[in-house]
Amino acid sequence: MAVKIRLQRHGKKNFAFFHIVVADSRAPRDGRYIEQIGSYNPNTNPATIVLDSEKALAWLNVGAQPTLTAKRLLSYEGVLLKKHLQGGVAKGALTQEQADKKFEAWKAEKTAKINAKKEGLSKDAAAKAKAAVEAEMKVNQERAEALAKRKAEAEEAARAAAEAAAAEKAAQEAAAAEAAENTEA
C-alpha cells in the first residue's frame, strides 16, 4: 500500500483551508485517511501551519511520500531538515547533540524571520492607517477652506447688495428731494 502525506481541502469556495493527512494514495482527495497530522490555512498572512512534527517525521521514516505542496509545508516547518539530520546521526557523520544544535539554530532563525515579517506587516498597516487619516484630514481642511471661502463670498455679495440698495435708496431720496425743490421753485 502506497502511503502519501497530502492536503485534504475544507472550507468554502475561494476561502479554503486544508488538513494535512496521511492517506492511502488510492483514496479520494477528501476521502478516507489514516491519520490527520496537522492543518494549513493559506488565508492568513503569514499562512498558519499547525503540524505535529513528530508524527510527520515518524510517517516519513516508515516510507510515506509527501506530495509537492505537503513537502513544501514539511520543509517550512523543519521536518525534512530533522529527517536529514537524523540520517546523518544514523550514519555517524554527526552526534545527536550536534544535530539538535543545528536544528535549534535553524528554528531560531526561522522564527526570527517570521516575527520580522509579522512586524513589517503590522508597521505597514499602521502606516497605511496613518496615511489614510492624514489624507482625510487634508480633504476635510480643503472642504472647510472652500466652505469658508463660499461664506466670505456670500457675505461680500450681501454687503455689496446692501451697499447697492443703500446707494439706490440715497439716489432715490436725492431725486425726490430735487424733484421737490423743482416743484417748489
Same domain, 67 and 106: no
Summarised one tens digit per residue, pLDDT across range 37-89 is 999 999 988 889 999 999 999 999 999 999 999 999 999 999 999 999 999 99
Cell of 54: 513528530
pLDDT of amino acid 185: 64
7 and 82 share a domain? yes
Considering the domain boundaries, does residue 69 fall inside one? Answer: yes
Residues spanned by the domain of 141: 95-174
Report yes or no on 183 lying in a domain: no
Q: How far apart are CA 82 and CA 103, in angstroms?
A: 7
**Which CATH number is 28's domain given?**
3.30.1320.10
The verdict on 54 and 109 lying in the same domain is no
pTM check: above 0.85: no
Beta strands in the chain (DSSP E): 3-12, 15-24, 35-41, 48-51, 65-66
65 and 132 co-located in one domain: no
In a domain, 185, yes or no: no
Residue pLDDT, tens place only, 121-150:
999 999 999 999 999 999 999 999 999 999
